[in-house]
Structure 1
Amino acid sequence: MRVVAWTRALLIQSAEQGLAEGTLQIGEAVRRLGVDATGVHQSQCARMCKISLRTLVHIEHGEGNQTLKSLNAVFRPFGLQMGVVKVRRSLN
């Protein structure tokens, strides 16, 4: 399945926003980017990110203790990287 460039850009932006707001978990973002934004299978996505399929599956399922290096490898093809964001505190 071929993904149109503007659709891909919207999917990446949506994942970025969801991660920054805390409404989207890392694993779900990775699944959305891998499947929806690229239209490739997991094995192809893992190759594209230069990580093992096992590592990709663990990231998608929130399993294991992933390194910053492997998380950045997954996000790099989409122009993203892990970072620090300010936590919004609710006023009670």
Structure 2
Amino acid sequence: MNDELRQRGIILDELRTQLAEGTISIGAAVKRLRSEITGLRQEQFADMCKISLRTLRQIEQDEGNPTINTLNAVFKPFGMRVGIVPTRR
């Protein structure tokens, strides 16, 4: 495994943990995934996920009200989907 793939794996694991713990917003996670893992511009990534550029921008800025299906389309390339996680008491 080369260093680039190893680094991508580290970033994915880190973001999965942060999302589960609620220490990173969905928008910030999507932006990091898009830019650091895929290296794609917003336009390219939106096309790949079959969502509008406006929708992707809103997600990355933690604005709007995306559907679960839209979020799943964005997370699918990274082997993730939206789900329910237990909260801390």
User: Would you call these one fold, judging by a TM-score over 0.5?
Assistant: yes
Shift of 1:10: 1.5
The list of structure 1 runs, each at least 4 consecutive aligned residues, that deviate by more than 6 angstroms after superposition, is none
Shift of 1:47: 1.4
Shift of 1:59: 0.4
Shift of 1:32: 0.3
Amino acid at match of 2:56: L
Shift of 1:87: 0.2
- Higher alpha-carbon deviation: 38-47 or 73-82: 38-47
Deviations 1:31-75 (A, max 9, x none): 000001111111111112121111100100111111000000000
Aligned to 1:64: 64
Aligned to 1:78: 78
The structure carrying a bigger helix percent of its residues is 2
Shift of 1:14: 1.1
CA RMSD of aligned residues (A): 1.3
Aligned to 1:23: 23
Aligned to 1:41: 41
Distance 1:47 1:53 in 2: 8
Aligned to 1:8: 8
TM-score by length of 1: 0.88
Distance 1:5 1:56 in 2: 25
Amino acid at match of 1:75: F
Distance 1:15 1:68 in 2: 19
